[in-house]
Amino acid sequence: MRLSSVTGRLFRFVATASVSGLLLGALLFLGAYAYFAPQLPSIASLKDPKLTVPLKIYTADHKLIGEFGPNRRSPVRYKDFPPRLIHAFLAAEDANFFHHPGVSVKGLVRAAVNLALTGRKTQGGSTITMQVARNYFLSDRKTFTRKFREILLALRIDRRYSKQKILELYLNKIYFGEGAYGISAAAQTYYGETLDQLTLSQTAMLAGLPQAPSAANPLSDGQAALARRNYVLGRMRDLGYIEPNTYRKAVSEPLSAKLHREQIPVTAGYVADYAREHMLQKYGKKAYTSGYRVITTLDSRNQQDAVQALRSDLLAYDRRHGYRGPEATVPLPSSGGQLPVHRIRQALNQHPPFGGLIAGVVVEVKDKSASVYTLDQGTVQVDWDGLSWARPYKGPNARGPAPKAASDVVSRGDIVRLAPQSGSGGWMLAEIPKAQGALVALDPRTGATRALVGGFDFHQSKYDRVLMAHRQPGSSFKPYIYSAALHSGMTQATVVNNAPVVVPGGFDATWRPQNYERNFSGPTPLRQGLFHSLNLVTIRVLQRIGLENARKYVSRFGFPEKQLPDNLTLALGSAAVTPLQMARGYSVFANGGFLVKPHLIRKIVGPDGKTLYQAKPASACPSGGTGDGATGCAPRVISARNAYIMTEMMHGVIEHGTGRAARKLGRGDLAGKTGTTNEQKDAWFDGFNRHLVAICWVGFDQPATLGHYETGARAALPMWIDFMGAALKGTPESPPLEPSGLVTARVDPATGKRVHRATGNSVFETFRADHLPPFESHDNYAGASAGGSGSGSGAGSSGSSGNLERSLY
């Protein structure tokens, strides 16, 4: 009886204590809720969360060229999550996610018991919803107040949003290590795959990462990662998400994770940086985190062709002038000793790849070959074909003797550059060029930039020579002067004396310009003056039309008049201009006379997918109109007839003049002009057809001679040929459209006058119908009209005779 009484009293005590505890706990909870609830942040922002998504830059055909921002993230909608991905994360993080109210009481009790027994806050009992609350609104500090706020927020989130939305928020926010935020970025970072391409084993690996993105990282601790992956797979089996056979197959798979940085398939660092700077100025620092996308005007194929052409050209220039020696040296033990691989790799890490050239350390030198250790390729062999070019560099105008053995070129321990030999699979000794280059290509009808390369490698030098380098264009500027001459009444048959010119100057100084060949050929037609690039002819042309008239006229091509020299050196290209300005000017010839505005950005897309900006460039009128303000029509700045005749004259540069190396392309629709400045400090080739203008420049950033004979034809034209050959491959020829009001007539090139009958030297030339030259006075038909419609045997319409004329040049 006494035992029963004691038991009863004990039971009543325990019951009373339990009820009191519950009441006290409830009162504490209500008090804490009353205190913390007003301080909780609004969860309304989760409806459309502002995730930090990087700025991405693309070509016009949607190839990635740049990504800027602190985090890699690509948000994904719930409907695009594969079922096994959802199952893997539920198994790893929160099996009852779809059933609890945002908080797991069992999990919290388990965490409390663990804390009481160990004194450590190791098991937080966090549900997926609680992790959403923490990741979006709270810090990672492990405090009781933060935990309580987390619980309250989770309860609110669960009441406000669907389970699918909460899971979407979770998977797009959490950190997976290696700079990857969100499941899509993680799949790309560790496997280089999209979510639907992941295997079950790979999915389980990713699901195991959020709890320990460093400790269980497959890239740093394979054993820990494997154990965590297999735990997730076991949970998926136990929960009925996968069959036992599927489980056994998945756990038997080896680790396949590797670091996959998102590939940049198109090399366009200068354009990507231009777009980045534009976005930063327009939107501020949020441009890096808000998920903007910029679509440029670049054509990915043209861009890659431009990069290859420029790099090949500069490397060829370098080989012509000899080898400057190794970039550095690494002390190595005597031959036969063990290589200090760790020290070699440390040294090579200081010499990153530039322009496709990799660094390596020479570890063995034989008679006609060398073995070179590289970071990515291991030890490779460089045969004599890849070494024999390397005469010692003796300056831009001299080279040392040809090497006779590999030891004349390299020594053990040298840090050198290697380039792959095209076609052979072998390697060639190379070096990062000291000379620089630029290439820009425009669509002359719209001004859209199809390719832009501002230097050998953006990561080596961020100075964009297309947009920023103001250099003298030399003779490539002459077409603007000749266009002014046609406008003033001269024709391509007008004869100008190729004879010495002496220009008096102040303080008893005189200027005696010379032709590059230092020749004096006497009376010379304008056409030949251009395609032979005769300085003296161009100066006399400028004198005849007048300096001020010429400056005003040349400004029509987009050059500010104040940028043009107020003296006769204007004829020889002494103005400081950028390659982009030259591209704009040459576009006027290519499109039939319209001044278009070059542009690089086609479209800007906001975080919500809406277009924020769409380029609407004023274009060359397809009908050849006047450009007098019609909607979408660029201003006409020279006549269609002037542009056509100038294109014919520059076609002569390629057929018979300084650009004749371009004949190897086998096309009849190309026109252009070489440019070389004093002491060969700048080399240019500027050329086009009706659909593409390309400008190429080579020089040193600090102006210095490129060397004897490094003219535009030698230093820059090969770049243009390589680019245009690739860009126009497979495209039909597109000769200029002949406007009305032109006729062809037979002339004597010695006098520029018309003749009725063929003579040994007579040629056909194209003229404005209202501006035909007179007949030779001794011609049998001297009484015929000197102007008019061009009827009769000496002149034809703009049809068949025009075709005949083109066939003769």
Q: Give yes or no: residues 497 and 390 share one domain.
A: no
> 607 lies in a domain?
no
Q: 124-155 pLDDT, tens per residue?
A: 568 998 898 888 887 666 666 767 788 888 88
Report the pLDDT value the prediction gives residue 254, as an integer from 0 to 100: 92
- What is the tens place of the pLDDT at every residue in 218-227? 988 989 999 9
Structure-block tokens of residue 700: 């040193």
pLDDT score at 373: 96
pLDDT tens track for 455-509: 999 999 999 999 999 999 999 999 999 999 999 999 999 999 888 887 776 445 6
For the stretch 520-569, pLDDT in tens is 778 899 999 998 999 899 999 999 999 999 999 999 999 999 999 999 99
CA-atom Rg of the chain in angstroms? 37
Q: What is the pLDDT of residue 78?
A: 94
- Average pLDDT rounded to a whole number, residues 28-50: 61
417 and 486 share a domain? no
Contacts of 419 (CB under 8 A, 6+ apart): 315, 356, 357, 427, 428, 430
Residues 409 and 506 both lie in one domain? no
Q: What is the pLDDT of residue 227?
A: 94
The Cα 123–Cα 141 span in angstroms is 14
Average pLDDT for 675-682: 95
What local confidence, expressed as pLDDT, does residue 113 receive? 53
Q: Which residue type occupies 22? A: L
Out of 231, 251, 271, pick the residue that ends a domain: 251
74, 184, 475, 533: the active-site residue: 475
Model confidence at 280: pLDDT above 70:
yes
DSSP helix/strand/coil, 390: coil
> Percentage of the chain surpassing pLDDT 70?
85
- Are 455 and 463 spatial neighbours (Cβ–Cβ below 8 Å)? yes
- 481 and 426 assigned to the same domain: no
pLDDT value for 803: 36
Mean pLDDT of 77-102: 94
Helix residue ranges, H only, 290-430: 300-320, 341-348
Q: Residue 783: pLDDT band by 50, 70, 90 thresholds?
A: very low
Q: Which residue has the tokens 């070179």?
A: 372
In a domain, 484, yes or no: yes
Asked if residue 9 is part of any domain, the answer here is no
Residue 778 pLDDT level (bands cut at 50, 70, 90): low
Residues 502 and 419 in one domain: no
More confident residue, 548 or 26: 548
Indicate the residue among 224, 251, 278 that finishes a domain. 251
Look up the CATH number of the domain holding residue 514.
3.40.710.10
Work out the mean pLDDT of the chain and round it to a whole number: 87
Q: Is residue 232 part of a domain?
A: yes
What are residue 745's DSSP bridge partners? 765, 795
Query: Tokens representing 535?
Result: 């300085």
Residue 299 gets which letter from DSSP?
-
Instruction: Please tell me the total count of domains within the chain.
Output: 4
Angle, CA of 745, 747 and 748, to the nearest 5°: 170
Residues 564 and 495 in one domain: yes
Cβ atoms of 526 and 642 closer than 8 Å: no
The answer on pLDDT for 423 being more than 80 is: no
Determine, yes or no, domain membership for 211: yes
In a domain, 561, yes or no: yes
Instruction: Respond yes or no: is residue 475 known to be catalytic.
Output: yes
- Mean pLDDT throughout 678-692? 97
- Under 8 Å between Cβ of 739 and 768: no
Where is average pLDDT lowest: 190-194, 472-476, 800-804?
A: 800-804
* Mean local confidence (pLDDT), 101-107: 76
244-251 vs 200-207: helix axis angle to the nearest 10?
Answer: 80
Q: Which residues, other chains included, contact 541 with Cβ-Cβ below 8 Å and sequence gap of 6+?
A: 481, 482, 485, 490, 496, 526, 529, 571
Q: Which residue has the higher pLDDT, 514 or 430?
A: 430
Residue-by-residue DSSP string for 699-755: E-SS-----TT--IIIIIHHHHHHHHHHHTTTPPP-PPPPPSSEEEEEEETTTTEE-
d(CA 779, CA 792): 14
Residue 649 included in any domain: no
Does 630 have pLDDT greater than 80? no
Q: 163-173 vs 83-93: helix axis angle to the nearest 10?
A: 80
pLDDT, average across residues 446-456 = 98
Q: Please, is 137 exposed, middle or buried when counting C-beta atoms within 10 Å of its C-beta (0-12, 13-18, 19+)?
A: middle
pLDDT of residue 8: 61
User: Predicted confidence band at 794 (pLDDT cuts at 50, 70, 90)?
Assistant: very low
Give me the mean pLDDT over the 243-247 stretch: 95
Domain boundary among 227, 251, 275: 251
Contact between 393 and 324 (Cβ < 8 Å): yes
* Rounded distance between C-alpha atoms, residue 550 and residue 545, angstroms: 7
pLDDT digits (tens, 9 = 90+) for 458-471: 999 999 999 999 99
In this model, does residue 229 exceed pLDDT 90?
Answer: yes
> Among 76-90, 106-120, 408-422, 770-784, where is mean pLDDT lowest?
106-120
Contacts of 643 (CB under 8 A, 6+ apart): 483, 588, 589, 591, 592, 593, 736
The token pair that represents 4 in the structure block: 């029963």
Q: For the range 29-35, what are the long-range contacts, defined as Cβ-Cβ under 8 Å and sequence gap of 24 or more? A: 32/148, 33/152
- pLDDT on residue 51: 79
Q: How many CA atoms lie within 13 A of 691 on its CB side?
A: 10
Q: Which of 74, 93, 126, 178 is catalytic?
A: 93
Residue (of 534, 522, 518, 443) closest to 482 by Cα position: 534
565 and 417 assigned to the same domain? no
Please report whether residue 217 resides in a domain: yes
- Residue 789 pLDDT > 70, yes or no? no
Contacts of 733 (CB under 8 A, 6+ apart): 667, 668, 669, 689
CATH (domain of 104)? 1.10.3810.10
Residue 405 has pLDDT above 70, yes or no: yes
Q: Is the pLDDT of residue 4 over 80?
A: no
Per-residue pLDDT, 624? 60
- Which residue matches tokens 């709270």? 138
pTM of the prediction? 0.82
Looking from the CA of 764 toward its CB, the CA atoms found within 13 Å total 23
185 and 88 both lie in a single domain: yes
Residues with Cβ within 8 Å of residue 190, at least 6 apart in sequence: 176, 178, 180, 202, 205, 206, 218, 219, 257, 258, 259, 260
Clarify whether 93 is annotated catalytic: yes
Confidence of residue 782 (pLDDT cuts 50, 70, 90): very low
Of 621 and 425, the one with more pLDDT:
621
Q: pLDDT at residue 259 above 60?
A: yes
**Residue 564 belongs to domain spanning:** 474-576
pLDDT value of residue 802: 36
Q: Do both 99 and 242 map to the same domain?
A: yes
Question: What's the burial of 447, exposed, middle or buried (CB within 10 Å: 0-12/13-18/19+)?
Answer: buried
| Whether pLDDT at 110 is above 50 | yes
d(CA 194, CA 654): 50
Same-domain check for residues 549 and 490: yes
Across 480-569, the runs of DSSP E, i.e. the strands, are 495-498, 503-504, 510-511, 522-525
What whole-number percentage of the chain has pLDDT above 90?
A: 65
202 and 83, same structural domain? yes
**Which tens digit of pLDDT belongs to each residue from 285-323?**
999 999 999 999 999 999 999 999 999 999 999 999 999
What gap in Å lies between CA 631 and CA 381, rounded to an integer?
A: 62
Q: Are 102 and 160 in contact (CB under 8 A)?
A: no
**Tokens matching residue 415:** 């840090």
Same domain, 343 and 240: no
Beta bridge partners of 374: 360, 378
